[in-house]
Amino acid sequence: MAQKNLRHVAIVMDGNGRWATKQGLSRIEGHRQGVLVVKKIIESCVKNKISYLSLFTFSHENWSRPKEEVNFLMELFMASLNQELEMLCAQGIRLRFLGSRDGLTPQLVQEINQAEEKTKPNDVLNLNLALNYTGKWDILNATKKCLEQGLSSTHLDSAKFESYLSTHGLPDPDLMIRTSGEQRISNFFLWQLAYTELYFTDTLWPDFNAQAFEEALNYYFSRERRFGKTSQQLREDNNV
């Protein structure tokens, strides 16, 4: 499948807990199964020559979950980094973590920094993990940086502001996928999703597979992306 106009896919991976409940398992087992799905989607992105994959991994609001679940998630992040880093390097995958490092353990921050540095030369797929992230935090953090730099309103435009976002240097997502049937973006990439095509599926994340991912891609290719323009204007642009 040609991916000339599909560079960046963002995913809200939702439904691990509900999947586990349906299976009579603990929520922790749902998260463990969810990691296996991430591997499959990474493989599908490489196969389809998608350059950027962003995953909403852990939001600020997730800290309010039961302590046992939060602790497990943090341990799972570290274990996954240790176990999968060599494989990611072998596949040419670059890791980038988006979000605040505040609240993360020093050990996890060290693992994150090392993973980013080790995978920095890779260019087959840019895998962005939004960890301890929300869209509101991203915008507020960028605003604070602008003020700290002493930027005046006359020197601030969209391009300059975007350079202070955690996603600086990344293209905006072309497609956002959310699993589990919820139809909202839940404080994810609020600035970056302005013209993104949104795809919602009832499939719970642990049941999301390569075929389900292909269906989402097919939906994207069926859409006419207008970016605020009319169909006539798009046709005129394409004829230039």
Residues 6+ apart with CB under 8 A from 229: 237
Is the per-residue pLDDT at 58 higher than 80?
A: yes
What's the whole-number mean pLDDT along residues 62-75?
A: 90
What's the whole-number mean pLDDT along residues 110-122?
A: 95
Output the pLDDT for position 126. Answer: 98
Residue 127 tokens read as 């895998």
User: For the CA atoms of 209, 122, 128, 108, what is the dihedral angle to 10 degrees?
Assistant: 110
**Total Cβ atoms within 10 A of residue 226:** 11
Question: Does residue 134 lie within any of the structural domains?
Answer: yes
Output the pLDDT for position 232. Answer: 54
**Total Cβ atoms within 10 A of residue 230:** 9
For the segment 179-196, what is each residue's pLDDT rounded down to a tens digit?
999 999 999 999 999 999
Burial of 168 (0-12, 13-18, 19+ CB in 10 A): exposed
pLDDT band at 82 (very low <50, low <70, confident <90, very high): confident
Candidates 130, 39, 142; CA nearest to 93 is 39
How many angstroms separate the CA atoms of 7 and 20, rounded?
Answer: 32
In angstroms, the first-to-last Cα distance of the chain is 26
- Do 209 and 226 touch, CB atoms closer than 8 A? no
The domain total for the chain is: 1
What's the whole-number mean pLDDT along residues 18-46?
A: 95
User: CA-CA distances (angstroms) from residue 128 to 21, 65, 108, 124, 139?
Assistant: 28, 23, 16, 13, 17
Is the per-residue pLDDT at 238 higher than 70?
A: no
Question: Does residue 176 lie within any of the structural domains?
Answer: yes
Question: Does residue 231 lie within any of the structural domains?
Answer: yes
Question: Does residue 2 lie within any of the structural domains?
Answer: no
Q: For a pLDDT cut of 90, what percent of the chain falls above it? A: 80
Q: Apex CA 90: angle with CA 87 and CA 93, to 5°?
A: 85
What's the whole-number mean pLDDT along residues 91-108?
A: 94
Residue 15 tokens read as 């439904």
- Do 125 and 53 touch, CB atoms closer than 8 A? yes
Note down the domain range covering 205: 8-239
Output the pLDDT for position 1. Answer: 40
Which is the catalytic residue, given 48, 62, 122, 187? 62
CATH code, 214: 3.40.1180.10
**Which of 100-104, 189-193, 216-220 is the least confident region?**
100-104
How many angstroms separate the CA atoms of 45 and 219, rounded?
Answer: 16
128 is catalytic: no
Strand partners, 127: 53, 95
Is the per-residue pLDDT at 42 higher than 70?
A: yes
Mean pLDDT across the chain: 91
Strand partners, 52: 8, 126
pTM over 0.85: yes
Candidates 49, 47, 52; CA nearest to 8 is 52
62 is catalytic: yes
Output the pLDDT for position 3. Answer: 39
- Do 100 and 69 touch, CB atoms closer than 8 A? no
Question: Does residue 209 lie within any of the structural domains?
Answer: yes
For the segment 14-25, what is each residue's pLDDT rounded down to a tens digit?
999 999 999 999
Output the pLDDT for position 172. Answer: 97
pLDDT band at 66 (very low <50, low <70, confident <90, very high): confident
Is the per-residue pLDDT at 81 higher than 50?
A: yes
Question: Does residue 158 lie within any of the structural domains?
Answer: yes
Question: Does residue 1 lie within any of the structural domains?
Answer: no
Q: Which amino acid is at 139?
A: I
Output the pLDDT for position 56. Answer: 97
Is the per-residue pLDDT at 222 higher than 60?
A: yes
Is the per-residue pLDDT at 240 higher than 60?
A: no
Output the pLDDT for position 237. Answer: 61
**Total Cβ atoms within 10 A of residue 100:** 15
Burial of 48 (0-12, 13-18, 19+ CB in 10 A): middle
Output the pLDDT for position 215. Answer: 97
Question: Does residue 50 lie within any of the structural domains?
Answer: yes
